[in-house]
Structure 1
Amino acid sequence: MATLGIHKDFLMEFARLEKPVQKRVHEVFDKFREHRHAGLHLEKLEKARDPRIRTIRITQFMRGVVLAPESGGSFLLLKVMPHDDAIAWAVKHRVTVNSATQGIELRDDVALERATAGVRELAGEGSRRLFANVSEKDLVRLGVDADLLPLVRHLSDEAQLDALAKILPEQQYDVLAGLAAGMEPEEVWREVVLAQLVRAPAAEPRRPGDGSAERAGRPDELSAAMARSQGRIALVSGPDELLDILTRPFDAWRIFLHPSQQKVAYHPSYKGPARVTGGPGTGKTVVALHRALHLARGLPADAPDESILLTTYTRDLATDLRHSLELLIPEPELRARIRVANVDALANQLVREDRGAPLNIVTAQRDISARWARIAERLGVEYTDVFLDQEWRQVVLAQDLRSPEVYLRASRSGRGTPLGPLKRAQVWRAVDAFTRELRESAEWTFLQVCAEATEVLKRRGEDRPYRHVVVDEAQDLHPAQWRLLRALVRPGPDDLFIAGDTHQRIYGNKVSLRSLGIEVTGRSARLRINYRTTREILAWSTALLTGEQVDDMDGGDDSLTGYRSTYQGPPPRLLGSATKSEEIAALVAQIGEWTGSDVAPSEIGIAVRFTQLGKDIAKALERSGLPASLLGSSSKVGDGVRIGTMHRMKGLEFRCVAAAGVSDGVVPLRNAVTAEEVDAQQHREDLLGELSLLFVACTRAREALRVSWHGNPSPFLGRIRV
């Protein structure tokens, strides 16, 4: 049986092909599995840079481009394009094996030759050199080809390097981008090169110049090189697997591991809690899913079902994780070993079962704020309902303080308004009254339920519900929720696996993992390559957070240094309108353009700051004949354009995204930001939260981003200089 590799670029492009072409692609390449490809007329090309690259007829107007060795049963599907485009692409490209990673790489030889000549011409004597401080020995050791060294040595800045991203062999671009971002050669070796050797047969890297590139055509070499490239190539060994990938190409890519992710997800065993961080689109959720699979496979045969917990912040995100887990693990028996539930739902279940009765949980923030306001007025407390609620959540509940004496001695780090002993006593009177009222009315908040669930588990002693806990979107969890997670699993090897990015913190919950007994030092990994968003969208979105200091949940600062994308596309479009109706009309026209360009409505997301604007947009789309679905509504989400608040967009991704209503007074939303005179520190934290919210919404886009407003634009948009 033949082995067919599908290059990632094709996998991403397949969904955009017309349905009859998609069907024909499947029919043609299904024949490879039984070596019936002999009758498929793999045509050689005149003047091809790589004689092993052939073309194959798909339809009258479309051709596939295939790497087809003279002998052996391994083939690599590279492209499906219109006839003339396929021929032009095929004659210019060559497939080689990277000297350091031993993985397949594509190179546009014609474009590289032109680029080398052009960069040499631009480079003047004595001008700055981007890689002047990197030795040739290090460049070659990291897999940069000797014939590319003249080009690399003449680059003067990162802009030139980025301009070459589409034509440089991808693994070599990753190495150069890491060096350009300030990483040391050894750091690039560990994070870029070694990460791609995790699955390598005969895993030791080859020495440069040993002829590995020239031997890429040998049957064993091509098969092994494709196996070593599973961050870029999907291997297909049967018709069912091919059908599954081609039926759901975006879903397949969503659970597909890249080399840097593979190393983290399939680490044999961590001695304690482990963590993976990285910006949007770097694949943290994919890593968490694969880590859950790895742990499930390692369970003893007698382990009960749901021995592993895969958890996250909200119910919507848990639903998305459950769907992805079904894609990743088709076997029901193996999937049954993993339970997917959001933290609050799990806490609710534990307390409900302990008490033998359902809980009455107060979920509306306006009801909580109204209660604080009534208590403050009744007791004559001088602080606002907003200040009291934040003090309760961020100090009292965060540190699990249960008496006025403990509160008087507690640290209030991160709170901007100082409180002396008398004022703390005043605040505690309000806290005591608030919790007493809830108790008397048999009401709970979610954080109280989490705290009580932790006590329930403590009373059980050494009996813990799970053997392993995997946490996604960790940055948004409150310390009370972290104490529950710590109590769910006995400390030891592979107890907690944590995925998150503090640049995407949108709920204002700050935490020190170390203070909660979760020590990840020496077991943390950072992902730096964005596999979702184009370079242009990423640069624009990242500029929103330029200059902001963001913590790393472990006592240090986090950074987006070295964070980069592997894709290119058009820059984001920004458009202002005089009125809301004009903004919505222009947005509807844009959606029409996208759908007219073969983008399915369900592949388009519209992010808004508040629900009513989303409803107005949905009505306008439906009047124009475009289907729309409101995320989070009681109605079932259909195949329409997805519309949701920026909070609802968390964890989702779309081919095209429109951030609408990004107007002054709306982003940031006035009532979501603490007044500076109430608490200056909290005011800054709230602004950062709103900024992160816009950052999250914009980085949901894969190919196209549109940002619009009516009236005056958000002041956040004035921060961007790209």
Structure 2
Amino acid sequence: MPTLAIEKGFLKDLGRLEKSVYKRVTEVFDEFEEATHTGLHLEKIANARNPNFRSIRIDQSWRGIVLAPSGGEVYTLLKVLPHDDAYAWAQRSNVSVNSATGVIEIRDEAELDRHIPETREHATSERPPLFADIKDGELIRLGIDEKVLAFARTVTDPAQLDAAKAFLPELQCDVLFGLAAGFTPEEVWADLGAHILSEPIDTDDLDAAILRSNERVVLVSGPDELMDVFAYPFATWRVYLHPTQRAAVEAEYNGPARVTGGPGTGKTVVALHRAYTLAKRGAGKVLVTTFTSTLSDSLREGLDMLVDDDAAIGRIEVSHIDRIAHQVFRRKHGAPHLMTSDDETAMWTNLIKKLGLSFSAVFLAEEWRQVVLARRITTANDYLAAKRTGRGRALGAVQRAQVWQAIWEFEQTLQEQGLWTHETVRREATRLLEATTDKPFRHIVIDEAQDLSPDQWRFLRAAVARAPNDLFIAGDTHQRIYDHRVSLREVGIEIAGRSSRLNINYRTTAEILAFSLGLLRGEAIDDMEGGLDSIAGCKSYVHGERPRLIGLTSAEEEAEQIASAVRAWLSKGIGLSEIGIAVRARWFASRIEHALTTAGINCIDLAKAEDLDAVRIGTMHRMKGLEFRCMVVAGVSAKLVPAMNAVTAAEDDKKTHDQDLERERCLLFVACTRAREELFVTWHGQASPFVTALQTS
């Protein structure tokens, strides 16, 4: 039975179709199976570069280009374009098989033929060839074919490579870009993650290559599944996995495993595909989780887009950690009477007065969370002997005794009044799960892992039995936006030898990534395993405009400048919902909303769940996990970033002060890396020291 496959370039075409044409595409492919049997709609193309190219009629003005199989039954849809453009594409382009990986590649062969003599003519002895130090055999081993090799030998300037993106095969282009950036052939191949096949490749066997090309081609079983993919033309990265991503998704791990990587490297995509893979294996229930309800909702939407297998989806539960902990708690104790944050602060304040202590309510609350709860301390002796790593402020024996008295009385009051916090609910739920071998989940997949607290980690460890593939962790400590610092070993999770890193950024341009990485230059950030983490190898092969930075004299002028920038983006065809504006202070969001509304631009607060076609405005925390084609990071002034109320005074606690600054810097980093194509950073008054340091470095 004929099977339809979609090459990823096709989804880009779908995003440009008018609604009437789009609707006609769905109707045509409803008839695809019949068309392949009768041959009514698949026609040969005169002068096509590839004899297996066929055209399929969409309507009077549009045609699709299909690669027909030589002997199999997999038809691959390559392009959908206006009639003349489609035929011109088929006469100009070709499909080949990469000699190293065995997967299909698409090239503009006519343009490549034109550029080889052109670049050779412009090459001069004054500028040596860019790849002069790399032997032909090394390039061929990396999958560079004869024609691309001829072109590569004429290149003397990286700008020529930039111009060649439009016509070179994608993987070969990535290889050349990596080598031009100064990486060794081994480093380039490790980053690309492509597997060089040991057996000889038949580069004439396109049918076999299609079946190997998981990172470029999606096989669909019918029109309904095809339309599910069509519905998300701008989310191709969710459908097409890079080889390094696929390796992490499909691996068998003898215990917990982790994937790390910088922003935009596809960690969430890997987590979702991993959950789907585990569910398809049918070994038990899979939990996909993270630390907030907003992010868990985003994960659920991603899975809904990805999973079309009813049996598999029935084995996947998507929920944030507190919700699962409350479910476990309620089965034993019923609904807890939760204390509000204001009531908690008042209780700590009353205890300080009662005991005559010099500590603040914030200090005691954080000591309880980050030391007592994090280390599961239950007695005074344990507390007196406990490590207080990361707390900064040293406490003598007398002070520790005073702190413990306050914490003990706090917990006694909770017990006497029948009150609970989310932390104590998690602690009790963990105790209940640790006491039973009947675990609620067979596998747990965790996204944004860097922001989980130690007691959340212990709860998850208790919710799944120790077994192969039990925990799969995705995160990046450079994007930590909360205070939690965890050693995975101390919470019972060993990942030694089962950790992989993603380095290629698929979201942002190289220019935006370079600016954002500069914000973290020199920061020593922990890796959750007792060492330091680095994203120095994170790179993007996509180029665009440099981020724009501008300072204004007042908040009003800044808001008006932002409205002007948004208008310019809209005039270029950027959609309203493709524009995001991040702020550190909520009050400034209101000022920007007013400026946009006055300019006649629809906007909406991210805190509201309305699905409107409008510019999204929200705090930097709210931007976590989102992305936009164009991004404004606003109010990046010295008074707002870092936020004064979020940073402990250095004289009170130097170590905590430094950690607070690191967290604020990471928060700005997260906001900037939400941008895909254009980034605009603004402030009024004096610029944030984070930006000033970058400009003077």
Query: Fold match, TM over 0.5?
Result: yes
> Partner of 2:319: helix, strand, or coil?
strand
1:44 lines up with 2:46 in the alignment = yes
> Partner of 1:567: helix, strand, or coil?
coil
Distance 1:568 1:181, change over 3 A: closer
> Partner of 1:250: helix, strand, or coil?
coil
Distance 1:62 1:493, change over 3 A: same
Between stretches 551-560 and 573-582, larger displacement belongs to 573-582
Aligned equivalent of 1:323 = 301
Alignment of 1:239-250 (within 5 A): 239-250=223-234
> Partner of 1:405: helix, strand, or coil?
helix
Distance across 2 between alignment mates of 1:710 and 1:155: 45
In structure 2, which of residues 431, 446, 449 is the aligned counterpart of residue 474 of structure 1?
A: 449
- Contact 1:16–1:599 (Cα < 8 Å) also in 2: no
CA-CA distance at 1:479 after TM superposition: 0.8
Distance across 2 between alignment mates of 1:568 and 1:28: 36
CA-CA distance at 1:450 after TM superposition: 1.7
- Contact 1:537–1:704 (Cα < 8 Å) also in 2: yes
- Contact 2:450–2:480 (Cα < 8 Å) also in 1: yes
Aligned equivalent of 2:97 = 97
Distance across 1 between alignment mates of 2:208 and 2:274: 24
Alignment of 1:231-630 (within 5 A): 231-251=215-235, 253-267=237-251, 269-299=252-282, 307-362=285-340, 364=341, 368-369=344-345, 371-458=347-434, 460-630=435-605
> Partner of 2:408: helix, strand, or coil?
helix
Corresponding letter in the other structure for 1:283: G
> Partner of 1:101: helix, strand, or coil?
coil
Aligned equivalent of 2:676 = 702
Aligned equivalent of 1:664 = 638
Distance across 2 between alignment mates of 1:113 and 1:435: 77
Structure 2: which 5+ runs fail to align? none
- Contact 1:254–1:286 (Cα < 8 Å) also in 2: yes
Distance 1:147 1:550, change over 3 A: farther
Aligned equivalent of 1:717 = 691
Distance 1:380 1:124, change over 3 A: farther
- Contact 1:44–1:54 (Cα < 8 Å) also in 2: no
> Partner of 2:258: helix, strand, or coil?
strand
1:228 lines up with 2:212 in the alignment = yes
CA-CA distance at 1:481 after TM superposition: 0.7
> Partner of 2:440: helix, strand, or coil?
coil
Structure 1: which 5+ runs fail to align? 198-203, 216-220
Distance across 1 between alignment mates of 2:451 and 2:659: 14
Between stretches 396-405 and 618-627, larger displacement belongs to 618-627
- Contact 2:451–2:482 (Cα < 8 Å) also in 1: yes
- Contact 1:607–1:643 (Cα < 8 Å) also in 2: yes
Aligned equivalent of 1:201 = none
- Contact 1:116–1:150 (Cα < 8 Å) also in 2: no
CA-CA distance at 1:392 after TM superposition: 2.8
Distance 1:183 1:418, change over 3 A: farther
Alignment of 1:49-68 (within 5 A): 67=67
Taking structure 2 as the reference length, what is the TM-score of the superposition?
A: 0.88
> Partner of 1:531: helix, strand, or coil?
coil
CA-CA distance at 1:99 after TM superposition: 0.8
- Contact 2:555–2:684 (Cα < 8 Å) also in 1: yes
Q: Deviations along 1:520-544, whole A, 9 cap, x unmatched?
A: 1111111122222233322322222
- Contact 1:182–1:562 (Cα < 8 Å) also in 2: no
CA-CA distance at 1:313 after TM superposition: 0.8
> Partner of 1:249: helix, strand, or coil?
coil
Between stretches 666-675 and 438-447, larger displacement belongs to 438-447
- Contact 1:351–1:449 (Cα < 8 Å) also in 2: yes
CA-CA distance at 1:396 after TM superposition: 2.2
CA-CA distance at 1:343 after TM superposition: 0.8
Corresponding letter in the other structure for 1:591: V
Corresponding letter in the other structure for 2:274: R
Corresponding letter in the other structure for 1:391: E
CA-CA distance at 1:172 after TM superposition: 2.4
Corresponding letter in the other structure for 1:335: I
CA-CA distance at 1:487 after TM superposition: 0.7
Corresponding letter in the other structure for 1:235: L
> Partner of 1:509: helix, strand, or coil?
coil
Distance 1:224 1:575, change over 3 A: farther
Corresponding letter in the other structure for 1:96: S
Distance 1:452 1:324, change over 3 A: same
Between stretches 379-388 and 549-558, larger displacement belongs to 379-388
> Partner of 1:335: helix, strand, or coil?
helix
% same residue: 49
Aligned equivalent of 1:218 = none
Q: Deviations along 1:56-78, whole A, 9 cap, x unmatched?
A: 77667766555567887655444
Q: Deviations along 1:293-323, whole A, 9 cap, x unmatched?
A: 22222235xx5xxx22111110111111122
Distance 1:512 1:123, change over 3 A: farther
CA-CA distance at 1:164 after TM superposition: 5.3
Distance across 1 between alignment mates of 2:503 and 2:120: 27
Distance across 1 between alignment mates of 2:357 and 2:113: 71
Distance 1:180 1:680, change over 3 A: farther
Distance across 1 between alignment mates of 2:694 and 2:660: 19
Between stretches 351-360 and 485-494, larger displacement belongs to 351-360
Q: Deviations along 1:558-577, whole A, 9 cap, x unmatched?
A: 22233223434333333433
Corresponding letter in the other structure for 1:656: C
Q: Deviations along 1:340-391, whole A, 9 cap, x unmatched?
A: 11111222222233222323143x4x66555545544553434444443333
